[in-house]
Structure 1
Amino acid sequence: MPPPEPTPLQSSLPEAVSRFGAQVLADAAARARDIGAVTGGPPRVPSQAAEAPAVEARVVEAPAIEVPAVEVPAARAPAAGADVERLLRGPSGLGTAGLRLTPAALSEPSAPDSAPAPGAAKGRPVPGLYHHPAPEPDPVRVAEVSRRIKAWALDEVDLYPDDWEEEFDGFSVGSYMVGCHPDAPTVDHVMIATRLMMAENALDDCYCEDHGGSPVGLGSRLLLAHTTLDPLYTTQEYQPQWAESLYADAPRRAYRSAMEYFVKASSPSQADRYRHDMARLHMGYLAEAAWSEHDHVPEVWEYLAMRQFNNFRPCPTITDTVGGYELPADLHALPDMQKVIALAGNATTIVNDLYSYTKELDAPGRHLNLPVVIAEREDLSDKEAYLKSVEVHNELMHAFEAEAAALAAACPLPNVQRFLRGVAAWVDGNHQWHQNNTYRYSLPDFW
């Protein structure tokens, strides 16, 4: 008897749009800190001098707007059709040249030798990789974010010893986060994502990878680190011991501090969303660790399942917090939105597999990445497996763009469309950082 077919996912988008209607439009307008940015206008970019003082970044609740009773000028809130049309052809303004939400059938892959965007760095992209060149991150912001994150790492959380400084600088996290969040209103908003990124990277290095990481006992370490994000509520006798443990190592110190900043800037719903996605990430770490302990190479589909959890998903999912607005929980939880976010995370993580391929081959032991798994499981040469991995990435990218465009057309709410643009910007910025970070990455000689 053949196995039953999996039940197809049911879209709840029509019911959700009908349910929210004008109330969601009103909520979007009330929550948006910059209506011009929500409807496609360029976000405000202060000068370095204006941004230097640390300002607590909070989601500001404006008075609710009764949309049906208020006549809004067309230039400020365009009709749904016009907004979707603008989204599909790509927004304009600072840092948005790389955002596209066009169906895959209408998109042209970037040629292997295509010219970079004006002013972009000169890193070499993976030949044949489907991507959109992104504009160079604003150098003023990059410099300020880089200065602040290093001060945080050294002075607030004691993140790394002196001999790791070169690696910290080589990570170029300022360029990374500014490039991934072009609609962030201020440097303070970019810093929300930057601290979280560095905390996640420190945990990966110290618990799983290069700097003392091991699959042995990883579950215990991850669980205790996760309590810095999702606090322990226990008896009075044991609470102080848990509180002291939050400072026990660099990953926990970084997680605790970064999460405190994030909670101050986010709504309770956004914070809980992030905790959930970090639990997904940690579960993916555990699956990979289990395979490593047993020297097991999974099937390709199993590896891709693991990568849907052990991936960049926590980063683009907070794009609204970093942008200074909120996508309401019911809209974020829509199956169609979750599919878009998952596809974005999957595609960007395969980008990491491709660019870090030679780096991982040079490291001790066997590191699982998509080309390695395909080569072993499908009996292909290293080159054939790598090129097939490029094809896997391209299919995921086309699916991401097609699903995002369909959702944008079906749900023309300002905060939904701004969120989709933010996720697309993260995808483009993530690729650009990998392409241009020649300190960390180099391509194999397959062409």
Structure 2
Amino acid sequence: MPAPELTPPQSGPPEAAPFGAHVLADAAARAHDLKAATGGPTRGSSSPGPPALSPPAFSLPAPPAPPVLDAPPPSAPAAAVPATGADLERVLRGPSGLGTAGLRLIPREAPAMPSQPPAAPAKSPAEGTPVPGLYHHPVPEPDPAKVEEVSRRIKSWALDEVTLYPEDWEEEFDGFSVGRYMVACHPDAPSIEHLMVATRLMVAENAVDDCYCEDHGGSPVGLGGRLLLAHTALDPLYTTQEYQPQWAQSLHADAPRRAYRSAMEYFVQTAGPAQADRYRHDMARLHLGYLAEAAWAQTEYVPEVWEYLAMRQFNNFRPCPTITDTVGGYELPADLHAQAAMQKVIALAGNATTIVNDLYSYTKELDAPGRHLNLPTVLADREGLSERDAYLKAVEVHNDLMKDFEAEAAALAAACPVPSALRFLKGVAAWVDGNHYWHRTNTYRYSLPDFW
């Protein structure tokens, strides 16, 4: 397919870092996924790559006058434009509401619609109730056949390959509904095995959180040492021949390390080197967030609201949406992933989805032993709010983060219309929506407070 035409140069805000010509040209020359974005072969295909782009340098567009991406005419062939889908259509259209018209990249009168509209979400006994007032987007019910197969495979992996949990934890493992979670979050995964890459990592991360930090014997005392040793299952130790065997043996010492080691081995078979290193970096961020929360627990310190939100930018879901290209079977080039604008979009997605967790797990954490930090409790303590008012303000914080995420993603889609970047933004948006779907429907784990 021909390379997409670039939008005219726009004058961006002074602090916006420009996407230079060499960045886009190199990214397009090395991107493996142009045909995948239009229904062609995925990563690993032997087909020739696309021609390199040679655009002029330009900056991120500044509202209120971003470029308009016209919808393709009905007669245009499918290969003439990148396939977007419903989620990317939402990202490109931008946020809605008073004062946001200038941020929309597609006119509301003539939206770029997918070839087939998504099916309406099916009703089910486990549908659950969304948090009233929470800004979110419904998703179609995940394919039940995929959910069943992923659930079967992940339980087999947990029991037979890594001996993840004892028999009396089986109900809790099943109640986590991780198969439904990952199928909802990765609608573009080309195979069950691609879905399993994300599912193993999610289960391993949850095991570390439970066993080291939270419900199943976790403690802030000594957490740093445990996390460091577990992190070597993701980022391997290179030491002398005398001590290498001892380290290798330590990776089987407990369930979290066994799970990290195995999940990472599967991941690197599918991911490229840059994708694997990206994931290791985001897991280090996650572990740093765990340590900050543990330090506050040991000193019984309730952080300021901004401090709590800073911690949550690290202790959050970021490692999950950041691998959306690996799970989708393509690769976002490393220099596009590293751009400040892309990093901001990913961070906002992680922040918003983590506040979703704070809101849906609020009553669960209140019923648990000890004091658990979450945004509503910090708001109540630091701003002198009632429990109800603090919870409702946390909903507002989430909504602001979501709208910032969508606005930043829309601006980035206009500034960098490389198909791999557009598909990645679509994947992150799908993960955000799937994460809310799972929290809403997981009535085994979550229930809402009686504030309405």
Common fold, TM-score beyond 0.5? yes
Residue 331 and residue 153 in structure 1: after superposition, are their counterparts in 2 closer, same or farther (change >3 A)? Answer: same
Query: Is 1:63 the counterpart of 2:54 in the alignment?
Result: no
The CA deviation at 1:428 is 0.1
Structure 1 residues 39-438: aligned runs within 5 Å? 39=38, 59-60=44-45, 62-66=47-51, 75-78=77-80, 87=84, 91-92=85-86, 100-105=91-96, 117-121=120-124, 122-438=127-443
Given that 2:313 and 2:347 are in contact with CA atoms closer than 8 Å, whether structure 1 keeps it comes out as: yes
Matched to 1:66, the amino acid is P
**Structure 2 Cα separation of the partners of residues 204 and 382 of structure 1:** 26
The CA deviation at 1:418 is 0.2
Residue 182 and residue 173 in structure 1: after superposition, are their counterparts in 2 closer, same or farther (change >3 A)? Answer: same
Matched to 1:152, the amino acid is W
**Structure 2 Cα separation of the partners of residues 171 and 138 of structure 1:** 17
Task: Report the counterpart of residue 37 of structure 2 in structure 1.
Answer: 38
Given that 1:337 and 1:407 are in contact with CA atoms closer than 8 Å, whether structure 2 keeps it comes out as: yes
TM-score by length of 1: 0.85
Given that 2:88 and 2:423 are in contact with CA atoms closer than 8 Å, whether structure 1 keeps it comes out as: no
Task: Report the counterpart of residue 4 of structure 2 in structure 1.
Answer: none
The CA deviation at 1:60 is 4.5
CA RMSD of aligned residues (A): 2.4
Residue 292 and residue 68 in structure 1: after superposition, are their counterparts in 2 closer, same or farther (change >3 A)? Answer: closer
**Structure 1 Cα separation of the partners of residues 252 and 228 of structure 2:** 15
Q: Deviations over 1:132-180 (max 9, x none)?
A: 0111111110000000000000000000000000000000000000000
Given that 1:98 and 1:425 are in contact with CA atoms closer than 8 Å, whether structure 2 keeps it comes out as: no
Residue 68 and residue 297 in structure 1: after superposition, are their counterparts in 2 closer, same or farther (change >3 A)? Answer: closer
The CA deviation at 1:410 is 1.1
Structure 2 portions without partners, runs of 5+: 1-12, 55-74, 101-118
Given that 2:351 and 2:401 are in contact with CA atoms closer than 8 Å, whether structure 1 keeps it comes out as: yes
Structure 1 portions without partners, runs of 5+: 1-7, 45-56, 109-115
**Structure 2 Cα separation of the partners of residues 411 and 361 of structure 1:** 44
**Structure 2 Cα separation of the partners of residues 21 and 309 of structure 1:** 29
Given that 1:99 and 1:425 are in contact with CA atoms closer than 8 Å, whether structure 2 keeps it comes out as: no
Given that 1:340 and 1:404 are in contact with CA atoms closer than 8 Å, whether structure 2 keeps it comes out as: yes
**Structure 1 Cα separation of the partners of residues 297 and 18 of structure 2:** 40
Q: Pick one of 21, 26, 30 that aligns with 1:27.
A: 30
**Structure 2 Cα separation of the partners of residues 172 and 208 of structure 1:** 21
Task: Report the counterpart of residue 65 of structure 2 in structure 1.
Answer: none
TM-score by length of 2: 0.84
Matched to 1:131, the amino acid is H
**Structure 2 Cα separation of the partners of residues 117 and 64 of structure 1:** 37
**Structure 2 Cα separation of the partners of residues 359 and 117 of structure 1:** 30
Given that 1:59 and 1:266 are in contact with CA atoms closer than 8 Å, whether structure 2 keeps it comes out as: no
**Structure 2 Cα separation of the partners of residues 424 and 200 of structure 1:** 21
Residue 76 and residue 67 in structure 1: after superposition, are their counterparts in 2 closer, same or farther (change >3 A)? Answer: farther
Residue 241 and residue 21 in structure 1: after superposition, are their counterparts in 2 closer, same or farther (change >3 A)? Answer: closer
Given that 2:91 and 2:409 are in contact with CA atoms closer than 8 Å, whether structure 1 keeps it comes out as: no
The CA deviation at 1:123 is 1.3
The CA deviation at 1:23 is 4.6
Task: Report the counterpart of residue 6 of structure 2 in structure 1.
Answer: none
Matched to 1:136, the amino acid is E
**Structure 2 Cα separation of the partners of residues 344 and 26 of structure 1:** 28
**Structure 1 Cα separation of the partners of residues 133 and 434 of structure 2:** 18
Q: Deviations over 1:259-278 (max 9, x none)?
A: 00000101000000000000
The CA deviation at 1:19 is 1.4
Ranges of 4+ aligned residues in structure 1 off by more than 6 Å = none
Task: Report the counterpart of residue 51 of structure 1 in structure 2.
Answer: none
Given that 1:157 and 1:254 are in contact with CA atoms closer than 8 Å, whether structure 2 keeps it comes out as: yes
Matched to 1:25, the amino acid is A
**Structure 1 Cα separation of the partners of residues 188 and 263 of structure 2:** 21
Residue 402 and residue 97 in structure 1: after superposition, are their counterparts in 2 closer, same or farther (change >3 A)? Answer: closer
| Number of matched pairs | 399
Residue 293 and residue 62 in structure 1: after superposition, are their counterparts in 2 closer, same or farther (change >3 A)? Answer: farther
Task: Report the counterpart of residue 50 of structure 1 in structure 2.
Answer: none
**Structure 2 Cα separation of the partners of residues 9 and 181 of structure 1:** 36
Given that 1:233 and 1:239 are in contact with CA atoms closer than 8 Å, whether structure 2 keeps it comes out as: yes
Residue 305 and residue 203 in structure 1: after superposition, are their counterparts in 2 closer, same or farther (change >3 A)? Answer: same
